[in-house]
Structure 1
Amino acid sequence: MIETLFNNLLYILQAHSRWMSWNLFLAFIPLGLSVFLFRRKSLRRSLIWWLGFLIFFAFLPNAPYVLTDIIHLVAYIRRVDSIWLITLIIFPLYLLFMLLGFEAYVISLINLGSYLHRLGKTQWIFSAELMSHALCAIGVYLGRFQRFNSWDLVTQLDVVATSLIENLLGKRPIVIIAITFIVITVLYWIAKQASLGIVLRQRSFKSRQQNLNRVSQTEF
């Protein structure tokens, strides 16, 4: 049984690794840009910074986009008749994939919030997060249903703009975008609290260790 599961794992990884790796790569682009834009010591915003800022928001929807890849999970489960294969391999693989992609989104916005806090604009953080969720909900819809990519904003902006205007006039697209916005908002709030909780716990543990070291050195 173990050998069979191992062989199935290799097969599934080969079948899914290419598109999963690509989608995760796109999800991690805004994460990398958020470190460059929002975590550096200088608060000065040059032309290059603003260009990076635009690219950041152009690629940001790729991070929550991974949540929509659950449609591949549902389709794949329907073709598999082994509960062990689904439980031990397929589901954990997709769960890890979606967690990594969405966590890239969460950390990206946490970095943005940290930057606004350093600018003295803490009151803007919540609004910036909601705006980001709304833009990403639109971006996810355009990517999943209209099959646009982030770089289409440069290569065929007119086509993207026309499609966006046409879709915003329809009831079905508005409902899908609204539901996507709600899902992203709720999941982001949960994931943000968990992420910040882990960071605070690590800082608290590090602080206690430093205090213990000081006490030990003093007693010595």
Structure 2
Amino acid sequence: MKTLNHWYLHLFLILLSLSTIGVYFLFKNQTYYEFLLWNLFLAWIPYILAVIAHFIHTRKSMILKKFILIVVGLAWLLFLPNSPYVITDFIHLTILKDSYVQKGALSFTYWYDFFIIFLFAWNGLLLGCSSMYIIQKIWKERFNHFVSWLIIALTALLSGYGILLGREYRLNSWDALLNNGILEILRETLHQEAFVFCLLVGFVIMTVYITFYVLVNGIGSSRNSSAYTNEKTRR
């Protein structure tokens, strides 16, 4: 498992988000989609928490290090669903579908909004995958490779559940601490359709993350490439 170059990653994600926001303001023609800016902000929170967790993890001497790491880790888990949640914002294209039809065909505005949402969703997925990778590296170093993957798989399922609570029950991450009726709402989610939803969304999140993981760690062998280069040179 390769170590990420955090400074390059920070810079890349910041530039990507700023570019996305710039494109949004360039093409927006209504205020309806302003919630995308808020959702992108929420998508950044788990990434920032993961970076904080990594900083704490790398400190050799720190008072209450394990306790602080656990608190930050739980906060990260609580906010993580906000990153992939942006994918579900495509539903607003369906909600507004009638307003996009002109003379029996979709207007260009529909496609502008479609790709704007895609950019925000792409940002959210990259932020989520980056934070999951950082957290997995911490777990791998503290325990082992198998445990780190087990935790990531469980995290993906819990993120699916978080998206269910956010999209269907309109809960925010902080409602887990501030909403007095949270237990009653959680009981309402105990049915088959909710379970299938969590499995499907968790599988999607896990698939995207594994793709990210494979791309970061490489799917080719630099050793074979070097051998091929040397053989070609000898010829």
- TM-score normalised by the chain length of structure 1: 0.75
Equivalences for residues 65-104 of structure 1 within 5 A? 65-81=85-101, 82-87=106-111, 89-104=112-127
Q: For the Cα contact (< 8 Å) 1:116–1:124, is it kept in 2?
A: yes
RMSD of aligned residue pairs (Cα, Å): 2.7
Aligned: 1:127 with 2:150 = yes
Of 186, 192, 206, the match for 2:207 = 186
Pick the structure with more helix per residue.
Answer: 1
SS at match of 1:147: coil
Aligned: 1:149 with 2:184 = no
CA distance in 2, matches of 1:22, 1:192: 27
Q: For the Cα contact (< 8 Å) 2:90–2:114, is it kept in 1?
A: no
CA distance in 1, matches of 2:138, 2:149: 13
SS at match of 1:149: coil
Equivalences for residues 170-181 of structure 1 within 5 A? 170-181=191-202
Q: For the Cα contact (< 8 Å) 2:93–2:110, is it kept in 1?
A: no
CA distance in 2, matches of 1:24, 1:190: 22
- Matched residues, number: 190
* Match of residue 59 from structure 2: 42
CA distance in 2, matches of 1:101, 1:116: 23
Using the TM superposition, give the Cα deviation of residue 46 of structure 1 relative to its aligned residue in structure 2, in angstroms.
3.9
Amino acid at match of 1:167: T
Going from structure 1 to structure 2, the CA distance change for 1:10 and 1:133 (only over 3 Å counts) comes to closer
Residue by residue, what CA displacement relative to the aligned partner does 1:102-145 show, whole Å, maximum 9, x if unpaired? Answer: 11110011001111232242221210111101111111111111
Amino acid at match of 1:187: V
Q: In structure 1, list runs of 5 or more residues that go unmatched.
A: 1-5, 205-220
* Match of residue 53 from structure 1: 73
Going from structure 1 to structure 2, the CA distance change for 1:196 and 1:25 (only over 3 Å counts) comes to farther
Q: In structure 2, list runs of 5 or more residues that go unmatched.
A: 1-23, 223-235
Amino acid at match of 2:176: L
* Match of residue 11 from structure 1: 29
Q: For the Cα contact (< 8 Å) 1:33–1:52, is it kept in 2?
A: yes
Q: For the Cα contact (< 8 Å) 2:165–2:171, is it kept in 1?
A: yes
CA distance in 2, matches of 1:7, 1:39: 34
